[in-house]
């Protein structure tokens, strides 16, 4: 059992580490006392508490890095960098600032009397010690509504690049994401304009991610210098000192000055200028290994190595990062030749380079034929993408030498098959001094280990098991649900397997396949067998828990089309059966569950995706199949410019299930895909490539499911031993469905143990003789759970994990006699009460007092089958605080049975009311802070239930008083907010207050009446319309405000109102939209 490590322990360990001689960071420790939060004398040198940069540090650093640039130019840039970004789209601001940080800022200068240009350097990437690194703890930041205080921020030259949020060791790291990072992004967006890395840690576990990433894409950093380092995660769980916790690996590995600037310069990508991608631990180490190999290319004789990173671990982005880093940091005029063996893979890689802005959208980089390829190579193109087949040459003739340059880097993606034959020899003949590297998820091994003969040894290795352990990919489970269709004998003749890897077979390959002694086609393509598989897919696919995308893999193109037709037929039959089943259902819950399945089936679309070949219509027609309708769908481009690949990759598109035979089985990344129906014989690297389609991480996706119809998993252990595992051959990362049930059993045991610690024995409850007694016990249990926020949060995390595992096991779990089914139902009942998904009369009665204050509330549950986490949708605009009777609430509470439930409901009501009040008037932050103090005192054990409830009622009464203040002042809500902003921090006479009130009324009226002219579309994005708004504010205030508002205070109030109006426009709330 690990010892308790507090947030402060971890924070102090970080700061102490960064002050060591190997780091030499400057450290500023601000005062965390809320009473000191407005004090500008906190050591940061900021001129405003809303500011998120260190202006003086920035000024000193930028002047030091740019001694030859005029001071006026530098001062202007510093002012721009110090601006308020909260009114801008933070994704855009983050992208634009990253480009400035990485590339510098282009400025016009004069040299020797002539116009010239230069770049202002914000960070010195070549000499890291020239930069100023500062770690600041507990820095108070004033947001648009709330004050926030990040635990640790790391600044480079005064710009906040790294955000670190800490929890104590008994709190799950995910809560730092849900409770802190999510709120910080909303409340102090300014901070994330410069951010490059977000770090969440409880000491035991540390995760990194981009500020915009969902939690599923946060990753560990546990290897410091070498990917061969061994880390015992079990030992990390037992640490007793913060300095030995997981955070030290991150600090040693990434906060070293050289590593941090290297990471920021070379390991951060943006897709299409928006989606931010930051490198994981294995990508950073692997790409830098390859960079070192390139530096030693002469010693390695041009064999840079094999970059073996398993599928789904970001290999394509690692390739981009390698090319990008070489071009940015290494001297020379390198040419990159990127080679694949399939057109779809070639196009996918080109798209990846375009989307990450390594090449331009219209750049000519894909030669149309072999002749043009030879022209490109004799020229000086920086990046060329081609297929190996373009190295064909006239039979009998020797391939010509195209270039003897030694700065050509040949990157071969998925180095298999043709790369090692005549075409590869031509490539080496044409480019005798080139440098070769293979990027692969499945290198050829054993007697066929030609990968290493051509490319050298492994330059980086990251296998399947490591990827699952790190969370870079999800675990895979497999099932064989229709035993009678599985093939029993060892049918996988190697020649046959090699042939059916291809989609378009020549006459010789077709003859060999059809004459094979295994008679594989005859067995696999038997109609009655395909019917059973189609019927199973139609039953299984819509009944899964996580409804991700799916792929059906058939032995050839004709069978893929047949399977599509058959699944369509059984799909219709399945819907008819479900409608009949719904009509017979005894309960509303069961009817709703079936309706959810039917609704999904009605909207789900399917498609065949196979390569095109000459004369295909005649070939398919000869087999009684119509390919034209499928080809039309495959070639269709939507009005939005989406092709079939884009639609399948988009998670919210209705295209849910595709039928393939070879296309999209390699190099095709669809994170939302969770289910692979496998009906094609595969071995070794081909099998690993195929099953990896389902292993990508995606929000809500716990695992991938492989449904095996051909019994290929008898070969899985061999493939996994070669490609997936480390030293432990017994622990395979692809497991039988039974293993998932074991995880589910463990999750039930964990939930029961947690509740037992609160005095709730689920087994005892289930032993009650009647259902009514069981429900009464569950209500009492729920009352205990909601007593403390700590209990609620832990319960929610545990039950969500349990429910997600159960959903992942559907529908297979239905055929098991699962021993925990009753306990799971009881736990789900508590889960349903927690999320308002269950209509329990007595619990609802405990909630009635607050419900009476809602004229119309709506509870919307997730329509997907089974008990899942729902979403409560409240029409917050209808909260009516005028109905509150504080004395009646206190009197009724004394008689209540489920006091914790009533308190919890009161808290929920107050939280909704506070959101509503703050949206109407941003100056009411003190109510929110007072509420948080009441909660903190109770959670700390300094108040009993009755006193706690009384404090909440007092707060509610004061909120009621505040809610009616506008009418007492003779103002509208909008006018009152402007009045409060103008009055803040100013003591006035009664006469002066009336002038301010008049000013607020006139300003609101002017802006409201001229809204269309003043607040034009996206006015806050451009300087000209922003100036028009500010002029309108200044005009009214200048005329009406009392003389005591001197020039400085007048400007302060004008800027305050301007910032608030911009925030309303950006956030899309209030009367300015």
Q: Verify that 1037 and 941 share a domain, yes or no.
A: no
Contacts 24+ apart (CB under 8 A), 1050-1053: 1053/981, 1053/982
Q: How far is CA 1021 from CA 90, 257, 275, 817, 1016, in A?
A: 12, 35, 20, 60, 10
In a domain, 1073, yes or no: no
Q: Verify that 55 and 95 share a domain, yes or no.
A: yes
Give the CATH number, domain containing residue 505: 3.40.50.300
- Distance CA(159)–CA(58), nearest Å, equals 7
Backbone φ and ψ of 197, nearest 5°:
-140, 135
Name the 3-class secondary structure at 609: coil
Domain's final residue, options 269, 300, 335: 269
376: CB partners within 8 A, 6+ apart: 367, 384
Is residue 699 within 8 A of residue 216, CB to CB? The reply is yes
pLDDT average per 10 residues of sequence, the chain (1073 residues): 73 94 96 88 92 96 96 95 84 94 93 88 97 97 83 98 92 85 88 96 92 91 89 71 78 96 97 90 96 95 89 89 96 92 84 92 88 84 89 81 91 65 77 91 55 79 78 80 59 53 54 53 82 94 92 91 96 95 87 92 96 89 93 92 92 95 80 90 70 81 86 63 50 70 88 89 81 76 80 82 83 82 84 62 44 37 30 34 60 64 74 80 83 77 71 83 88 90 85 91 90 82 82 89 87 84 76 74
In a domain, 118, yes or no: yes
Is residue 711 within 8 A of residue 489, CB to CB? The reply is no
1021: CB partners within 8 A, 6+ apart: 88, 89
CA nearest neighbour of 546 among 305, 740, 394: 740
Query: Which pTM does this prediction carry?
Result: 0.71
* Secondary structure in 3-state letters for 987-1005: CCCHHHHHHHHHHHHHHHH
The sign of the torsion formed by the CA atoms of 437, 441, 444, 446 equals positive
- Distance CA(247)–CA(229), nearest Å, equals 16
Q: How far is CA 328 from CA 262, 400, 1020, in A?
A: 11, 32, 35
Is residue 283 within 8 A of residue 318, CB to CB? The reply is yes
Q: Verify that 768 and 795 share a domain, yes or no.
A: yes
pLDDT at 852: 46
Domain's final residue, options 269, 299, 320: 269
Backbone φ and ψ of 859, nearest 5°:
-110, 120
pLDDT at 716: 59
Bridge partner residues of 198 (DSSP): 163, 209
Bridge partner residues of 473 (DSSP): 696
In a domain, 912, yes or no: yes
Alpha helices for 670-714 (secondary structure H):
684-691
Neighbours of 769 (CB within 10 A): 7
- Distance CA(495)–CA(513), nearest Å, equals 8
Q: Verify that 79 and 192 share a domain, yes or no.
A: yes
- Distance CA(505)–CA(503), nearest Å, equals 6
Q: Verify that 749 and 863 share a domain, yes or no.
A: yes
- Distance CA(857)–CA(918), nearest Å, equals 20
pLDDT at 415: 57
pLDDT at 885: 60
In a domain, 470, yes or no: no
Tokens of 990: 């009664």
In a domain, 366, yes or no: yes
Q: Verify that 166 and 211 share a domain, yes or no.
A: yes
Domain's final residue, options 908, 937, 966: 966
Q: Verify that 558 and 643 share a domain, yes or no.
A: yes
- Distance CA(784)–CA(898), nearest Å, equals 9
CA nearest neighbour of 744 among 477, 455, 506: 477
- Distance CA(201)–CA(209), nearest Å, equals 12
Name the 3-class secondary structure at 304: strand
Is residue 759 within 8 A of residue 785, CB to CB? The reply is no
In a domain, 735, yes or no: no
Q: Verify that 921 and 1054 share a domain, yes or no.
A: no
Q: Which domain holds residue 1048?
A: 973-1067
Q: Verify that 130 and 157 share a domain, yes or no.
A: yes
In a domain, 354, yes or no: yes
Q: Verify that 926 and 792 share a domain, yes or no.
A: yes
In a domain, 44, yes or no: yes
Structurally, the chain folds into a number of domains equal to 5
Q: Verify that 1031 and 892 share a domain, yes or no.
A: no
DSSP class of residue 179 equals I
Task: Count CA atoms closer than 13 A to 921's CA, side-chain side.
Answer: 27
* Secondary structure in 3-state letters for 1051-1073: HHHHHHHHHHHHHHHHHCCCCCC
Tokens of 810: 């559907």
Q: Verify that 622 and 767 share a domain, yes or no.
A: no
């Amino acid at each position: 059992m690990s010892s308790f490590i507090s947030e402060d322990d971890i924070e102090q360990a970080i700061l102490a580490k960064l002050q060591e001689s190997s780091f030499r960071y400057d450290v500023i420790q601000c005062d965390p006392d809320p009473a000191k939060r407005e004090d500008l004398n906190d050591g940061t040198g900021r001129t405003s508490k809303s500011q998120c940069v260190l202006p003086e540090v920035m000024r000193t650093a930028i002047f030091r890095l740019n001694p030859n640039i005029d001071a006026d130019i530098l001062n202007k840039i510093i002012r721009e960098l110090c601006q308020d970004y909260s009114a801008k789209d933070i994704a855009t601001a983050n992208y634009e600032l990253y480009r400035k940080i990485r590339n510098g800022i282009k400025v016009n200068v004069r040299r020797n009397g002539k116009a010239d240009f230069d770049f202002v350097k914000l960070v010195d990437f070549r000499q890291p010690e020239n930069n100023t690194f500062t770690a600041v703890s507990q820095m108070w930041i004033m947001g648009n509504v709330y004050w926030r205080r990040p635990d640790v921020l790391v600044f480079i030259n005064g710009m906040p690049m790294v955000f670190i949020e800490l929890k104590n060791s008994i709190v799950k790291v995910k809560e730092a994401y849900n409770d802190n990072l999510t709120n910080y992004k909303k409340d102090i967006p300014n901070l994330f304009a410069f951010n490059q890395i977000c770090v969440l840690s409880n000491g035991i576990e540390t995760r990194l991610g981009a500020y915009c990433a969902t939690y599923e894409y946060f990753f560990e950093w546990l290897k410091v210098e070498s990917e061969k380092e061994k880390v015992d995660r079990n030992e990390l769980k037992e640490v007793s000192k913060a300095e030995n916790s997981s955070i030290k690996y991150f600090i040693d590995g990434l906060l070293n000055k050289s590593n941090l600037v290297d990471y920021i310069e070379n390991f951060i990508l943006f897709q299409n200028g928006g989606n931010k991608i930051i490198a994981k631990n294995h990508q950073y180490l692997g790409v830098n290994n390859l960079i070192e190999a390139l530096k030693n290319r002469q010693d390695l004789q041009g064999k840079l190595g094999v970059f073996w990173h398993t599928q789904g671990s970001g290999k394509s982005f690692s390739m981009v990062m390698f090319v990008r880093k070489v071009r940015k940091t290494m001297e020379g005029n390198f040419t990159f030749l990127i080679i694949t063996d399939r057109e779809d893979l070639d196009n996918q890689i080109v798209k990846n380079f375009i989307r990450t802005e390594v090449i331009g959208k219209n750049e000519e980089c894909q030669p149309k034929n072999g002749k043009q390829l030879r022209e490109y190579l004799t020229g000086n193109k920086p990046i060329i993408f081609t297929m190996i087949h373009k190295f064909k040459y006239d039979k009998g003739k020797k391939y010509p030498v195209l270039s003897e340059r030694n700065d050509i880097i040949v990157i071969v993606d998925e180095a298999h098959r043709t790369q090692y034959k005549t075409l590869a020899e031509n490539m080496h003949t044409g480019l005798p001094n080139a440098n070769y590297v293979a990027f692969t998820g499945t290198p050829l091994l054993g007697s066929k280990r030609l990968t290493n003969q051509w490319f050298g040894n492994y330059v980086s290795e990251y296998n399947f098991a490591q990827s699952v352990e790190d969370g870079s990919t999800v675990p895979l489970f497999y099932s064989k649900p229709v035993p009678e269709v599985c093939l029993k004998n060892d049918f996988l003749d190697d020649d046959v397997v090699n042939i059916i890897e291809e989609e378009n077979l020549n006459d010789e390959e077709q003859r060999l396949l059809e004459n094979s002694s295994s008679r594989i086609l005859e067995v696999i393509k038997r109609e009655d067998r395909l019917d059973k598989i189609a019927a199973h897919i139609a039953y299984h696919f819509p009944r899964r828990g996580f409804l991700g995308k799916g792929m059906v893999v058939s032995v050839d193109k004709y069978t893929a089309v047949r399977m599509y037709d058959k699944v369509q037929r059984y799909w219709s039959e399945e819907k008819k059966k479900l409608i009949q089943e719904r009509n017979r259902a005894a309960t509303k819950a069961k009817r709703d569950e079936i309706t959810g399945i039917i609704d999904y089936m009605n909207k789900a679309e399917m498609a065949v995706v196979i390569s095109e070949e000459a004369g295909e219509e005649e070939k398919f027609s000869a087999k009684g199949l119509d390919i034209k309708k499928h080809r039309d769908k495959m070639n269709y481009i939507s009005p939005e410019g989406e092709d079939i690949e884009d639609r399948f990759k988009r998670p919210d598109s209705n295209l849910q299930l595709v039928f393939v035979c070879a296309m999209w089985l390699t190099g095709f990344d669809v994170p939302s895909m969770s289910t692979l129906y496998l009906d094609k014989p595969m071995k070794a690297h081909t099998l690993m490539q195929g099953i990896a389609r389902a292993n990508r991480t995606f929000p809500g996706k716990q695992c991938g499911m492989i449904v095996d119809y051909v019994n290929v998993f008898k070969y899985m252990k061999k493939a996994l031993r070669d490609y997936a595992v480390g030293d432990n051959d017994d622990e395979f990362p692809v497991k039988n469905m039974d293993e998932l049930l074991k995880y589910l059993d463990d999750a039930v045991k964990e939930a029961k143990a947690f509740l037992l610690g609160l005095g709730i024995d689920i087994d005892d409850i289930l032993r009650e003789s009647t259902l009514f007694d069981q429900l009464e016990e569950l209500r009492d249990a729920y009352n205990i759970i909601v007593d403390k926020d700590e209990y609620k949060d832990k319960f929610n995390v545990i039950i969500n994990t349990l429910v997600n595992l159960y959903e992942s096991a559907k529908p297979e779990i239905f055929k098991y006699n699962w021993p925990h089914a009753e306990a799971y139902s009881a736990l789900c009942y508590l889960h349903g009460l927690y999320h308002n998904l269950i209509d329990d009369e007595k619990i609802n009665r405990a909630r009635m007092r607050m419900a009476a204050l809602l004229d119309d509330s709506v509870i919307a549950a997730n329509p997907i089958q089974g008990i899942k986490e729902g979403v409560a949708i409240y029409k917050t605009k209808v909260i009516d605080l005028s109905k509150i009777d504080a004395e009646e609430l206190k009197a009724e509470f004394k008689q209540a049975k489920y006091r914790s439930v009533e308190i919890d409901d009161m808290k929920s009501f107050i939280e909704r009311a506070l959101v509503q009040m703050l949206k109407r008037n941003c100056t009411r932050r003190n109510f929110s802070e007072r509420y948080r103090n009441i909660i903190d005192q109770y959670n700390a054990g300094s108040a009993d239930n009755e006193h706690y409830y009384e404090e909440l009622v007092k707060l509610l009464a004061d909120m009621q008083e505040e809610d009616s203040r506008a009418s007492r002042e003779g103002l509208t809500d909008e006018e009152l907010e402007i009045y409060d902003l103008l009055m803040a921090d100013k003591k006035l006479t009664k006469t002066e207050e009336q002038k301010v009130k008049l000013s607020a009324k006139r300003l609101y009226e002017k802006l409201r009446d001229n809204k269309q002219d003043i607040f034009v579309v996206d006015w806050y994005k451009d300087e000209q319309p922003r100036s028009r708004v500010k002029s309108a504010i200044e005009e009214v205030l200048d005329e009406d405000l009392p003389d005591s508002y001197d020039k400085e205070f007048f400007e302060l109030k004008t800027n305050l109102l301007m910032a608030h109006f911009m925030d309303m426009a950006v956030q899309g709330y209030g009367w300015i939209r």
